[in-house]
Amino acid sequence: MTSRAGSTRQRPRTPGGRMIINISARHCRVADSIRRRAEDRLRKMVRFEPRIDSADVVFEHDHGFYAVEVRAFVTGRSTVVAHAAAADARAALDQVLSRLGTRLRRQHDRSREHSVGTPKSEDSFQKGIVAR
């Protein structure tokens, strides 16, 4: 992989706003059911961060463990990366997608506008309503 975790590399936008998902494997073969599961779960990540353009998923098998790395490329933001390892490829995939969801949610929350402001005068409040 040539990109780094903090890069803001521009990725091509797909027609219709669909996410590009690249799945690759090193030293192993990934079953079609696991590939479909990865694609389905990654497409659902848009609810955490709607600006995801594409994602790269890399499965690697080494010394009896499956290591999975996911890089999500977000428009106008840095790349979000998550890693996980487990004895089973499906378990490693579930772990890494859970971590990715947490990181995407955290990044999206940080990008929100937190300064709502205060009303200019007391006239903007409704009179006679008491909060209890």
Inside any domain, residue 84 = yes
For 105, the domain range is 17-110
* Residue 6 pLDDT greater than 80, yes or no: no
Task: State pLDDT tens for residues 84-116.
Answer: 999 999 999 999 999 999 999 998 888 766 566
Inside any domain, residue 1 = no
CATH number at residue 51: 3.30.160.100
**Average confidence (pLDDT) over 21-25:** 96
Q: DSSP string covering 50-67, please?
A: TTEEEEEEEEEEETTEEE
Inside any domain, residue 9 = no
Inside any domain, residue 36 = yes
Task: State pLDDT tens for residues 30-71.
Answer: 999 999 999 999 999 999 888 899 999 999 999 999 999 999
Domain count for the chain, please give it: 1
The answer to whether the predicted template modeling score (pTM) of the entire model surpasses 0.85 is: no
Inside any domain, residue 73 = yes
Burial 16-50 (b: 16+ CB within 10 A, else e): eeebebebebeeeebeeebbebbeebbeebeebbe
Inside any domain, residue 94 = yes
